[in-house]
Amino acid sequence: GENVEQHPSTLSVQEGDSAVIKCTYSDSASNYFPWYKQELGKRPQLIIDIRSNVGEKKDQRIAVTLNKTAKHFSLHITETQPEDSAVYFCAASQGWPNAGKSTFGDGTTLTVKP
């Protein structure tokens, strides 16, 4: 089955700095790579995703890059703010009939210091 490794497990940055979280996956059939953010005491929520036919995707201060050859993808957050502090999970999944059967990384706890 799919195996997703996520690094680092904890990350502390100063407000305004950039943060990068990296994930690797094992199954070359995976073609969808979402990132979820989970604030303390709340449910995980999708913040950005990328499909295998795209190398990079941006949404304001957040970007995700994908290298299918190397089987790794990364989350980049620029100009970090205290409200970015949360646990971030990467995931990998395939299309139908396995769609939605996502395998998650172990999570990265990001702390943004004011």
| Structure-block tokens of residue 71 | 């089987």
C-alpha of 54 from chain center: 15
Instruction: For residue 1, state whether it binds other proteins (rule: CB under 8 A).
Output: yes
Integer angstrom CA distances of residue 33 from 50, 54, 80, 89? 5, 11, 22, 10
Residues 16-35 that bind other proteins (CB under 8 A): 32, 34
Q: How far is the CB of 15 from other proteins (least distance, A)?
A: 26
Instruction: For residue 65, state whether it binds other proteins (rule: CB under 8 A).
Output: no
- What does the binding site for other proteins look like in residue numbers (CB under 8 A)? 1, 4, 6, 9, 32, 34, 36, 42-46, 49, 89, 91, 93, 95-97, 99-107
